[in-house]
Each structure stands twice: as C-alpha cells, then as structure tokens.
Structure 1
C-alpha cells in the first residue's frame, strides 16, 4: 500500500536515466557494493544500480511521483525492469509522453503538428551524411522519425562533428548537441523540458526535483524547483553530487528524497 499523502501526490522526481540513475558496465570495476541489474539485452546485463539506490527509488515511488525522462526510444525504455513500473514516463527526448505505458494522444498530436513545420528527417539525414562524409567509421541512427544521432569512435571526434554540424544547421530549426561520443540533431522544439512542463501541468505538481547528466537534461532546471547533477559532469545544478557513476546515482536519489520530503 502506498504511503503517499494527498500533498505528496503533487511532488515529482523527474530524472534522466542513463549515467544519471542507471549505469553501464564501464562504471562497475571499482564498485564494491551490491549491484542490481536493471536492464538486460541479448544474453547479458546492460545497465545497473546499487541495490541501496534501488531501495531508495522504491521509497520515492511509494511517497512521490517518479517520472523517467530519457532520450531512449520506447523500445529501449521498455527494456528497463523497474521493480515498480512508473505510471508516467517521457521518451525520445520529449517526443513521447507515456501514461500507463501508452502514448498521450494530445501530446502526440502537438508534436506531429510541430514536425510539419520543419524539414523532413530524411532530408536532414542526407544533409548530415554529406557533411560528415570525410569522417571514418560513422554510424547514423534515426529515432521514431523525430530526430537522429551520429555515433563516433570517441569524444574528440564527436566534438569535431558537433562543430561541423552546428555550422551546417546554424540558420535552421534544428539543434546540435554532443554527449559523449554521440552527436544529436534535433528539432529545437523537441526537448525534455517542454514535455516535462506539459506533464507537470497535467499532474498539477507543486514541487519538482529533476536530475540529469547532459545538456539535453539541463533545460529541465527551468521547469523544476531543484536540479541535481552527477559528480562526473562538467556543469553545475542546484545540487552537485560529490560521487561519480553508481555512487552519484545513489547520492542523486538521496538528495531528491531529502528535498521532496521538506515541509516547505
């Protein structure tokens, strides 16, 4: 049985997932605490949390509203095995709002209408392919006919491609973001913050904590009361974790619970 009070139903923790709350194998070697595999893909585990972090997430879900906010596609999001499935989620960097696992039709219509006002994704992909043709080993992936991203072999090359594409798309309705070894090409209106703002209004939320590890997440700071950043990022939020990787995931959840539990 949920321990939520009527007041707590209006409090929300909305968070990015990958490298904010859940972590790939590369973060595991120096961790001694017990781990929980939260995503399996193929024959093995793909993403993990500390068991203590998962218990704290369950406490947050019991008392408040937890909303995953991710750039993942719906299919990729569905691979994550939360102990308690969130009622609300945001996928595709804000392109899809899920309620009880189904897309919110009103939001779908709004996004479809806005997509009519920008160049088609197929045209954008051709432009990207021509612009990055000189680079070796590049892969391009499209997401739900909403945006695309370029996968590079390392961060240094990704920075070069980001600069290149920023010039190509400088006078368009498309934004360029580098995150790690990926470079995203997205319509300017397609943001996590806009989708979260829509959902918070729908929920009539009175207090909101957000967290994230990239520039794609930073806009959520503007639509929330408290923004938390992991210790392994190079920008600051309202609260900046000391730990990195899995430890910062636990610290993020600890701070989110503390802030939402405040009486004022």
Structure 2
C-alpha cells in the first residue's frame, strides 16, 4: 500500500506570488482566486490519485481547506495539523475527540500563551484558538515574540512555531509525524510505503519518518531526502512519486 502525505501551501498549491507559467486555479476566497497549481502538477496529481492513496495534511482549518478544489476528492484529509480528519469530505467526530484527549496535557500552556499574545503590542491579527487544538495569530518581530514565549512556557508540552509573520502555539504531540503514525495504525490494512512532501518546519518530522521524503531546498532535514530539484517543487516530487510506483 502506497500513501503520499502532502502538505498543501507552497508544497502542492501556491499563491499568486509564485511565478507559474501554466497554472490551474484551485482556491477561491472572497471572490478572488487565492491559490493555484501548475498545470503539470494538476495532471500528475490526477494520475497518482488512480494509483495510490493521497492524503493532504495541513495546518489549515477545515473551513480554510474547504475552499480548495483540486479536481479530486481525497478519501482522507488531515486538517488542523492532524487534529481533524475528513473522511470522504466529512469530519470524523471520533478522530476529533481523540485529538482533544491528545492535546489536553498542553491546555494550561496554550492558555498562558493566549493571554500573553492578547496583550502583546507586536501582535497584528486576532488571536485564535483553533478548534481547541492550538493557538494562531500573526505578529511583527515574530522571532522575538517566539523567544519571549519560550521564556514563559513549558516547552516540553508546546512548541512555538512560526512561518514569516504567522505564529502557532502547537501542542508538542500534535505534529504531522505522530499524526501519520496514528493514521496508519487506524486505517492501513497492509504494509505501507510512505511518501511525504513539505516545505516548513511543520513538515520536518513527517518527511524524516517517510520511506521516501521530499523537502524544499531551504528546509533543514537531518535524514537523507530528495531536495535536489530545479523549478517548481510540486512538479518535482509528484513526478518522482509517479516514477517510484511505476518501478
């Protein structure tokens, strides 16, 4: 059984800031096209969907994910960094309840972080408690904010992760690597070969546990993975996965 776990933003889909010669719109937001795929990646994704199980895994909320139209309906999607599972487009209550139990030990630290960020003048976006799973906001001087958070939080229970101005206070055990292990325990019916692709620190763990991992060039990965590509990352890794399963 082959499974491709793929991050979405800047891995499979791209904002309008990315220069793509031939592209397919895949997300509409507030009446405007917000995200694209390359035409080549779009075609590769559809070919792969006939041959392997494709499982998008994203920090996007269910609402944010629901705006995306890939031209296929993945049987499984993992949203909210793995805290929410969609099965044929429908949220699994059982999975979500288990996720709440998993993140419960970090609740005090998340509350502390929320209170800190609410008062922080560097914050430039509302502070959100995402599905009672993790905290999200946007800040100026994000690196400094993270440093200050690490000084007051129990970092054995939570992680302070950021991507440019986006800031997340994430339970230590709500991560993509552990989510993949959990998913395989519950849904794999035979021996699995795992492919994984991603572009940020959120994706490091899942890329490292994969049998075959793909990472952006600027992502520091300790395990030997594929990141020697030219051009668009999605074109590269989707093509490679297709080559592997044809062997």
TM-score over 0.5 (shorter chain)? yes
Aligned twin of 1:51: 39
Task: Give how far 1:241 is off.
Answer: 4.2
**Bigger mean CA deviation after superposition, 36-45 or 179-188:** 179-188
Q: Which structure 2 residue ranges, 5 or more long, are not aligned? A: none
Task: Give how far 1:243 is off.
Answer: 3.1
Q: Check if 1:15 corresponds to 2:12.
A: no
* Root-mean-square deviation (Å): 2.0
Is this contact kept in 2: 1:178–1:184, CA < 8 A? yes
For residues 193 and 166 of structure 1, the distance between their equivalents in structure 2, rounded to whole angstroms, comes to: 22
Is this contact kept in 1: 2:177–2:205, CA < 8 A? yes
Is this contact kept in 1: 2:100–2:133, CA < 8 A? no
Is this contact kept in 1: 2:41–2:235, CA < 8 A? yes
Aligned twin of 1:147: 134
Q: Check if 1:176 corresponds to 2:160.
A: yes
Aligned twin of 1:228: 214
For residues 136 and 22 of structure 1, the distance between their equivalents in structure 2, rounded to whole angstroms, comes to: 27
Aligned twin of 1:7: none
Task: Give how far 1:123 is off.
Answer: 4.5
Task: Give how far 1:197 is off.
Answer: 1.3
Q: Could you report, residue by residue, the CA deviation over 1:55-104 in whole angstroms, capped at 9, with x for unpaired residues? A: 00001101111000000000111111011110011000011122112233
SS of the residue 1:48 aligns to? strand
For residues 193 and 126 of structure 2, the distance between their equivalents in structure 1, rounded to whole angstroms, comes to: 40
Task: Give how far 1:194 is off.
Answer: 1.6
Is this contact kept in 1: 2:134–2:170, CA < 8 A? yes
> Which aligned runs of 4 or more in structure 1 are off by greater than 6 angstroms?
none
Question: What's the TM-score, normalizing by structure 1?
Answer: 0.84
For residues 155 and 243 of structure 2, the distance between their equivalents in structure 1, rounded to whole angstroms, comes to: 43
Aligned twin of 2:115: 126
The number of residue pairs the alignment matches comes to 242
The equivalent position to 1:242 in structure 2, one of 229, 239, 242, is 229
Counterparts in 2 of 1:139 and 1:254: CA distance versus 1, 3 Å = same
Q: Which structure 1 residue ranges, 5 or more long, are not aligned? A: 1-9
Task: Give how far 1:223 is off.
Answer: 3.2
Higher relative CO (Cα under 8 Å, sequence separation at least 6) belongs to 1
Is this contact kept in 1: 2:26–2:68, CA < 8 A? yes
